[in-house]
Structure 1
Amino acid sequence: MSELLGFDAYAPREVARRIETVGVAKANMATLPLLMLGVLAGAFIALGGFAFLIVKADASLGWAASQWLGGLVFSVGLLMVVVAGAELFTGNNLLAMAWAEGLIGTRAVLRNWLLVCMANFAGAAGMALLIHLSGQTELHGGALGARVVQIAQAKQELSWTQAFFRGVLCNVLVCLAVWMAMAGRSVVDKAVAIVPSIATFVAAGFEHSIANMFFFPLAMWVQAESAVGAPVTVSGMLANLVPVIAGNLVGGSVFVGLTYHLIYRRGLGGAAPSADAAPPHP
Structure 2
Amino acid sequence: MIDNNKSIKDTYMSNETIENINNQVQMKEVMFNQTPGRYALKSVMSGFLLAIVTVFMLGIKTQFAGTNEGLINLMAAISFSLALVLIVLTHSELLTSNFMYLTVGWYYKIIGMNKAFGIMLVCFLFNIIGGLILFGLMKFTPIMTTEMVNSLIKMVDGKTVGATWYAILVKAIFCNFFINIGIYVSIQFKDGLSRAFFIACGVVVFVFMGYEHVVFNAGLYSGMIFYDFDAVAWLHVLKNIVFAFIGNYIGGGIFVGLVYAYLNGRRDSLSN
For the aligned pair, the TM-score class normalised by the smaller chain equals 0.7 to 0.9
Report if aligned partners of 1:74, 1:199 keep a CA contact under 8 Å in 2.
Answer: yes
**Quick one: which amino acid aligns to residue 23 of structure 1?**
V
Q: How has the CA–CA distance of structure 1 residues 202 and 96 changed in structure 2, closer, same or farther, with 3 Å as cutoff?
A: same
Which residue is 1:223 aligned to? Answer: 228
Which residue is 1:181 aligned to? Answer: 186
Secondary structure of 2:131's counterpart equals helix
TM-score by length of 1: 0.84
CA distance in 2: counterparts of 1:220 and 1:124, whole angstroms: 11
In the alignment of these two chains, the number of paired residues is 253
TM-score by length of 2: 0.87
Report if aligned partners of 1:68, 1:200 keep a CA contact under 8 Å in 2.
Answer: no
Report the alpha carbon displacement of residue 136 of structure 1 after superposing the two structures with TM.
1.5
Residues 265-280 of structure 1 aligned to structure 2 (within 5 Å): 265-266=265-266
The answer to whether residue 79 in structure 2 is matched with residue 77 in structure 1 is no
Report the alpha carbon displacement of residue 219 of structure 1 after superposing the two structures with TM.
2.7
What is the aligned counterpart of 1:39 among 37, 40, 44?
44
Report the alpha carbon displacement of residue 240 of structure 1 after superposing the two structures with TM.
1.1
**Consecutive unaligned residues in structure 2, runs of 5 or more:** 1-12
CA distance in 2: counterparts of 1:184 and 1:100, whole angstroms: 23
Report if aligned partners of 2:43, 2:123 keep a CA contact under 8 Å in 1.
Answer: yes
Ranges of 4+ aligned residues in structure 1 off by more than 4 Å: 273-276
Which residue is 1:145 aligned to? Answer: 149
Which residue is 1:6 aligned to? Answer: none
1:148-182: per-residue Cα shift (whole Å, max 9, x none)?
11101111121111111111110001111221221
Residues 8-87 of structure 1 aligned to structure 2 (within 5 Å): 12-29=14-31, 30-57=35-62, 58-87=64-93
Which residue is 2:135 aligned to? Answer: 128
CA distance in 2: counterparts of 1:217 and 1:104, whole angstroms: 32
Report the alpha carbon displacement of residue 207 of structure 1 after superposing the two structures with TM.
0.5
**Quick one: which amino acid aligns to residue 88 of structure 2?**
V
**Quick one: which amino acid aligns to residue 131 of structure 1?**
M
1:201-256: per-residue Cα shift (whole Å, max 9, x none)?
100100111111111221342225xx8xxx21333322211110111111111000
CA distance in 2: counterparts of 1:274 and 1:239, whole angstroms: 39
CA distance in 2: counterparts of 1:161 and 1:28, whole angstroms: 37
**Consecutive unaligned residues in structure 1, runs of 5 or more:** 1-10, 268-272, 277-282
Identity, in percent, stands at 21
**Quick one: which amino acid aligns to residue 117 of structure 2?**
L
Report if aligned partners of 1:171, 1:208 keep a CA contact under 8 Å in 2.
Answer: yes
Residues 167-178 of structure 1 aligned to structure 2 (within 5 Å): 167-178=172-183
**Quick one: which amino acid aligns to residue 59 of structure 1?**
A
Report if aligned partners of 1:166, 1:247 keep a CA contact under 8 Å in 2.
Answer: yes
User: Which range is displaced more, 258-267 or 241-250?
Assistant: 258-267
CA distance in 1: counterparts of 2:190 and 2:137, whole angstroms: 35
Report if aligned partners of 1:156, 1:237 keep a CA contact under 8 Å in 2.
Answer: yes
CA distance in 2: counterparts of 1:56 and 1:216, whole angstroms: 18
CA RMSD of aligned residues (A): 2.0
Report the alpha carbon displacement of residue 82 of structure 1 after superposing the two structures with TM.
0.9
CA distance in 2: counterparts of 1:275 and 1:68, whole angstroms: 46
Secondary structure of 1:136's counterpart equals coil
Q: How has the CA–CA distance of structure 1 residues 32 and 190 changed in structure 2, closer, same or farther, with 3 Å as cutoff?
A: same
Which residue is 1:279 aligned to? Answer: none
1:95-143: per-residue Cα shift (whole Å, max 9, x none)?
10010111111122011101101000100122122222222111xxx21
CA distance in 2: counterparts of 1:192 and 1:69, whole angstroms: 16
Residues 87-98 of structure 1 aligned to structure 2 (within 5 Å): 87-94=93-100, 95-98=102-105
Report if aligned partners of 2:128, 2:222 keep a CA contact under 8 Å in 1.
Answer: no
What is the aligned counterpart of 1:155 among 153, 156, 159?
159
Which residue is 1:8 aligned to? Answer: none
Which residue is 2:248 aligned to? Answer: 248
CA distance in 2: counterparts of 1:136 and 1:233, whole angstroms: 25
**Quick one: which amino acid aligns to residue 42 of structure 2?**
L
Secondary structure of 1:180's counterpart equals helix
